[in-house]
Amino acid sequence: MMAFWGKKKTKKQVWAIEREALDFVLEASRSTHPREFAGLLSAAEGVITECILVPGTTSSEVCAVLQLYMLPNIRYAGSVHSHPIPDATPSEEDIALFSRTGSVHIIVAFPYTQDSWKSYDRSGNPKELKVV
């Protein structure tokens, strides 16, 4: 339990992603291919509801760089990015990002379909997310 303005409030663990949010991430990944796409994830009541596009983000065929200092004072649950190859396994650099940007992370691999994404915890361990 964590204190929040004097009231006790439990922190909800992320367990799902809305289909519309996942569809947005898949389409954004397709539209930036062969460059990587990257963003942050916002969640409410344990469900990812949107992807936050960070101003100043740059991308290439081998990486995407989120300019985290450009973020307004907002809460985010984790990160999302694409791999322009058919492998959604996180690299060491991905895991370093995971450890700084929340508790749930998604990698979308080429060809950016409902079957080509995986989710991970902040240490890079697979994490199941339901699509709702």
The residues assigned a catalytic role are 36
Distance CA 90, CA 121 (A): 11
Contact 61, 36 (CB under 8 A): yes
Q: Which two tokens stand for residue 113?
A: 């379909």
Number of H helices, E strands in the chain: 2, 11
Residue 119 contacts residue 16 (beta carbons within 8 Å):
no
Strands 64-65 and 58-59: antiparallel
Distance (Å, whole) CA 62 – CA 43: 28
Tokens of 2: 């964590």
